[in-house]
Amino acid sequence: MIIDSAQAPLYVQLADLFRQRIVKGVWKTGDKLPSLEQLGAEFEVARVTVRQAVERLTRDGLLSPQRGRGTFVTATPSSDRWIRVETSLRNLADVYRDSHPTILTIDESTRTPRLVDGDGVAAPKYVYMRRVHSHEGRPYCVIDIWLDAEIFARRPARFRKETVIPLLLAMPSVKIATARQVLTIATADLEVARHLQINVNAPVAEVRRVLTGPKRRVIYLAEVTYRGDFVHVEFDLKA
C-alpha cells in the first residue's frame, strides 16, 4: 500500500500527497489532474477516496473541479516553512520573540533533566516547564524546558509567561558560556500530534538544546518538537 490505513483517514493522507505535488511543481497552476479513476489506480484507493481528497483541497482553494472538464490546479500553497534552524543565540531569540507560549505544565520541585556526556554539570535544582508555542495563532512546537532554579527565581513572573531564551539574553546577570543544539528527524506521537494539530506519525523535527554558564553548569536544557512542515534547514558546507 502506498498509504497506510492505520494512520490518518486515507483521504487526508491522499490530500497531503496531492498538496506536496502542487508544492513541488509536479502539478502547476492551470494543470489538469488525471481522472479520479487514474489517481485511484495509482494510489490503490477507491474512487470515493480520491474525490474526498479533491474536495479537501478544493475547500483550501488549491483545486477546482469543473463539470465535464476535469479538476484543475488553481493555486499554490503558501510556504509555512518560516522556522529556520539558527546557529546563533541572537538569531534564535528573534525566532521566538513573536511567539506566544501556552503553559501546559510547570513544576518547581527538584525534577532534574536527563544529562548526557558532554552536556555539563547539573545545577542543584531546576524548574520544569512544558509549553506549546504558537505563531499567528498556529501551534508550531512543543517544548520541555529545564531552567536553573536560581535563575528562574530572579524573574519568576516573566519566565512563567514569556519565551525563555530572549529573556535569558536580556538578563545581564546571566552568563552563557556555551550553547549547543542537535536536530533529529522523527515522527509525531499521539500527544505531540494533538498539541501541534497534525497527524500521528507526521514528520517532526526534534531539537535538543543545552546552554551552560560558568564552570560548565547546565543552566538551560530544552527538548523541542517542531512541526516538520514549518521547518527550513539551510547551512553552508565546508570545503
Least confident segment among 24-38, 45-59, 99-113, 190-204: 99-113
Q: Name the more confident of 14 and 93.
A: 14
CATH of domain 83-232: 3.40.1410.10
Does the pTM of the predicted model rise above 0.85? no
CB atoms within 10 A of CB 92: 19
Residue 130 backbone dihedrals phi, psi, to 5 degrees: -120, 130
Q: Looking at residues 188-196, what average pLDDT do you find?
A: 89
pLDDT band at 125 (very low <50, low <70, confident <90, very high): very high
C-alpha cell at position 105: 505544565
3-state secondary structure of 210: strand
Distance between alpha carbon 80 and the CA centroid of its chain, in Å? 10
Q: Name the most confidently modeled range: 91-100, 146-155, 182-191, 194-203.
A: 146-155
pLDDT band at 115 (very low <50, low <70, confident <90, very high): very high
C-alpha cell at position 2: 502506498
Whether the CA torsion 136, 137, 138, 139 is positive or negative: it is positive
Domain ranges of the chain: 10-73, 83-232
Q: In this model, does residue 4 exceed pLDDT 60?
A: no
Residue 178 backbone dihedrals phi, psi, to 5 degrees: -140, 155
Structure confidence at residue 1 (pLDDT):
42
> What would be the CATH architecture of the domain defined by 10-73?
Orthogonal Bundle (1.10)
Contact (CB, 8 A) for 147 and 129:
yes
Q: In this model, does residue 13 exceed pLDDT 60?
A: yes
pLDDT band at 208 (very low <50, low <70, confident <90, very high): very high
Q: Name the more confident of 210 and 99.
A: 210
Structure confidence at residue 85 (pLDDT):
64
CB atoms within 10 A of CB 179: 15
Least confident segment among 80-89, 91-100, 108-117, 158-167: 80-89
